[in-house]
Copies of this chain bind each other. A is one copy, B any other.
Amino acid sequence: MDGQTAGAQSIRFNAPVSIVSGASIVGKKEGEGPLRDAFDLIGEDPMFGTDSWEAAESTLQKETAGLAIAKAGLKNWQIRAIYAGDLLAQSVASSFGIAELGIPVYGLYGACSTMGEALSLGAMAVAGGYGEYVLALTSSHFASAEKEFRFPLAYGNQRPLSATWTVTGSGACVLGRKDAKAQIAGVTTGKIVDYGLKDPLNMGACMAPAACDTIYQNFMDFNRMPEDYDQIITGDLGKVGQQILWDLLAEKGYDISGRHMDCGLKIYDGKTQDTHSGGSGCGCAATVFVSYVLPKIESGEWKRVLFVPTGALMSKVSFNEGQSVPGIAHGVVVESAGKGEG
């Protein structure tokens, strides 16, 4: 039981935890992007058959959870707990989405880093023997997020080029002790990092220092170099944040530019989809991980990746009160089964 720690902020599981299945459902715009063929389902109706943006996001989350459980060949009662979160105040997308599944729930809030938090805590639960299967689940919705954080859609505000576009989508992974082709070998828990930046329309810059902190700490804790990962995958730094991350890590002596991808830059075609700096939201990292990253690990194309969803910790109130936008990033080491975690 003891000794599943590594360095100052990381956990190295004695027995890696399997990613038994993954599911992703997205909205129309995401379904028109480069990953259109990789998602499980694309909803043509942005309301997902409901009468509010929040209910739409709840439905998205419920359907994605159900799909992941079905793909794992399981029934709801076999899932010991759900680790879930979203961006809305008091996490209502999750609460109303998963209530009827009848599964015990731990509600999480890590802004857009929440999928990293959910995979971390879920893997810790399985590795600790607290359940055979758990579910990690997050969502975001463009319209519910605009309503929560920004302007009424009908106002048609102009967005600076540093702004990101909130992904309409939900991603879910069943974690468990069953054999699978991808597994979580370790995690690096993020600290809150605050460089004092205050622009909520440049969240990439706000989150990049946290991503740098977690990636650097992961290298230290596991005694690794960037080359020990086939890919280092951040959540939603976008174009602006990506460059800052590269620069910050270069200052520490690490060049990750050749093996870095950002989910926010992968999900949309920046040239044709008018998404400016890229995609964002809890659903961004989650859907790109499930649809694009996981298959490459399962096929063995990538042997080991560091998945680092990034979150900007702010609210309307904190912004209006002139507070900065601190960042947080949680790192998850995912390996192709048989690779053997060193």
Seen from chain A, the residues whose Cβ lies within 8 Å of a Cβ on chain B are 1-5, 8-9, 11, 14-15, 52, 54-55, 77, 80-81, 85, 87-92, 95-96, 98-99, 102-111, 117, 120-121, 124-125, 127-131, 147-148, 189-194, 313-318, 321, 323, 326, 328
**A315 surroundings in chain B (CB, below 8 A):** 88-90, 92
Closest Cβ–Cβ distance, residue A197 to chain B (whole Å)? 13
B105–A108 CB distance below 8 A: no
Q: What would be 15 A-B contacts, judged by CB atoms less than 8 Å apart?
A: A1-B15, A3-B129, A91-B109, A98-B192, A99-B192, A102-B191, A103-B191, A106-B117, A107-B110, A107-B117, A107-B313, A124-B125, A124-B128, A124-B130, A128-B130
Of all chain B residues, which has the CB nearest A51? Answer: B321
A105–B54 CB distance below 8 A: no
**A127 surroundings in chain B (CB, below 8 A):** 1, 128
Cα distance A64–B192 in the bound complex, in angstroms: 18
What copy number does this chain have within its complex?
2
Cα distance A137–B57 in the bound complex, in angstroms: 29
Of all chain B residues, which has the CB nearest A132? Answer: B5
Known: A89-B90, A104-B189. Is A318-B109 also a contact (CB below 8 A)? no
Of all chain B residues, which has the CB nearest A114? Answer: B107
Interface centre among A1, A110, A194 (most CB of B within 10 A): A1
**A80 surroundings in chain B (CB, below 8 A):** 5, 9, 189
Cα distance A326–B107 in the bound complex, in angstroms: 13
Known: A98-B192, A128-B4. Is A321-B104 also a contact (CB below 8 A)? no
Closest Cβ–Cβ distance, residue A255 to chain B (whole Å)? 26
Of all chain B residues, which has the CB nearest A8? Answer: B77
Known: A4-B129, A124-B124. Is A107-B109 also a contact (CB below 8 A)? yes
Known: A90-B313, A117-B107, A315-B90. Is A96-B189 also a contact (CB below 8 A)? no
